[in-house]
Amino acid sequence: MSADKAARQRFALIVGEGVVRAVAQVTGFSVHDDRIALEGEPLAAGHPVRDAYLGALDPVTNGSQNPVGYCDLPEEAAYLMRPCHCGCAQNTDRDFLPGHDVRAMQARVRAHFDGSPLKFIQWVDANLALTPPTAADSAAAPQLRS
């Protein structure tokens, strides 16, 4: 396992005799010469990945003698690490790391609108909306009707 691949793993299934014996969330890793040690905590009952696989047959059935196998688990999709969309090259389980969404928007305002938020807003209003939203629209938008 490479350090890059280790950094993207969120869950580890520990398999013995073809059956999943433990399910853990990976919180980090450490490098020991040519080996990588995953670090993490066992998942508690009620976690969808643990509940789907603990006691189940090994989901990796590739016939390989390698003791480490990889597969995509449908239950892990919501937790997968992916690159932050701001371009910082860090990984997150969301679209952006905290505060990086603002960083990404500010970079675009600097790059395309001379650093002027007003020019950006005027461009959005001119190109994406027939009528500019008002403060009343913004206040009304989050309300849910029952």
In the complex with Zn ion, the residue whose CB is nearer, 54 or 84, is: 84
Q: Which stretch binds Zn ion (CB under 5 A): 3-11, 74-82, 95-103, 113-121?
A: 95-103
Show the beta-strand stretches assigned E in the chain: 11-16, 19-32, 35-42, 82-83, 91-92
Nearer to Zn ion, 8 or 119 (CB): 8
- Judged by CB under 5 A, the residue of 20, 23, 43, 100 near Zn ion is 100
Q: Which of 43, 84, 109, 120 binds Zn ion (CB under 5 A)?
A: 84
Of the candidate residues 88, 101, 106, 121, the single one contacting Zn ion (CB under 5 A): 88
By the 8 A CB rule, do 53 and 73 touch? Answer: yes
Contacts of 42 (CB under 8 A, 6+ apart): 22, 23, 24, 50
Specify the DSSP class assigned to residue 88.
Answer: S
Closer CB to Zn ion, residue 59 or residue 92?
92
The one among 97, 101, 105, 123 contacting Zn ion by CB under 5 A: 97
Torsion sign across C-alpha atoms 11, 97, 132, 121: negative
Q: Which residues bind Zn ion (CB under 5 A)?
A: 84, 86, 88, 97, 100
